[in-house]
Amino acid sequence: MNRIDTKFAELKRKKKKAFIAYITAGDPDLKTTYKIALELAKNGVDLVELGIPFSDPLADGPTIQAASQRALKKGITIRSILRMARSLRKKTEIPFVFMTYYNPIYQYGLKKFVDDSKRSGVDGVIVPDLPPEEAGELLGYSQDNLFSVVFLAAPTSTNERLKTIAKKSGSFIYYVSLTGVTGARKTLSKDINDHVKKIKRMTSKPVCVGFGVSNPRQARLVSSYADGVIIGSALIKVIEKNIGRRDIDRRLGRVVRSFARAIKK
């Protein structure tokens, strides 16, 4: 088992839900990302998604798009993020998952990306624009179970597509709670619970919900039926608001604790 599987097994034994936090690597710079990742690990986060910035992020709303642009302006690359991940791995055993689009990892080289990620202590990747039917090559390089390729399910996914995702997704299934781009929402769809139940009937893998969960109250609701809650834009907004502050990590930590209390109730 990899670190992700081990963490979900531990949470299941404890009857707890997973708190997954997304941050954009290099926003506002890699030194700050390093500090923030360690702060997340100390304050109740179970798994960290490290977003690899891309110039054309189709699934991302304005908050994460802006974070990507800030990182790209600093010259952030996959190589520099991998170096940071290696340093982080010496300090913490929290699972790390990359989230990025297919183009950057294709340009880097699929096999090299998987091999270098594993060597750097990264446990998997989420590729929003890569459907499972077209992921054979990437999955082929990830067959030793030490590196998970996680697929997204959406409200519009057919039963046949959901079965394919349930079969091929590694470690967990990322359920997108809404159609459209990422970003905090004032209200969540009333159908999320039904969709999660449907997926859980097809697989024993954990089902985690992301996109649009913007406050602890919503996180608590989602954690009542999903195996994990993914928080992204709400955290990126805190980072954006505090750029330039020396205690940016601790300020984010306070917000993270409020989400952790809601999810771990």
Task: Kindly list the catalytic residues.
Answer: 49, 60
Q: Where are the alpha helices (DSSP H) in the chain?
A: 3-14, 30-42, 62-73, 78-89, 102-108, 110-119, 136-140, 159-168, 192-202, 216-223, 233-241, 248-263
Cα separation of the two ends of the chain: 27
Q: State how far the Cα of 122 lies from the Cα of 135, in Å rounded to an integer.
A: 19
State the burial class of residue 186 (Cβ atoms within 10 Å of its Cβ: 0-12, 13-18, 19+): exposed
Residues 232-259 as b/e (b if ≥16 CB within 10 A, e otherwise) read bbbbbbbbeebeeeeebbeebbebbeeb
* Residue located via tokens 């004032």: 186
* Residue located via tokens 């802006």: 66
Q: State how far the Cα of 45 lies from the Cα of 203, in Å rounded to an integer.
A: 24
* Residue located via tokens 């800030």: 70
| Percentages (nearest 5) of helix, strand, coil residues in the chain | 50, 15, 40
Neighbours of 164 (CB within 10 A): 18
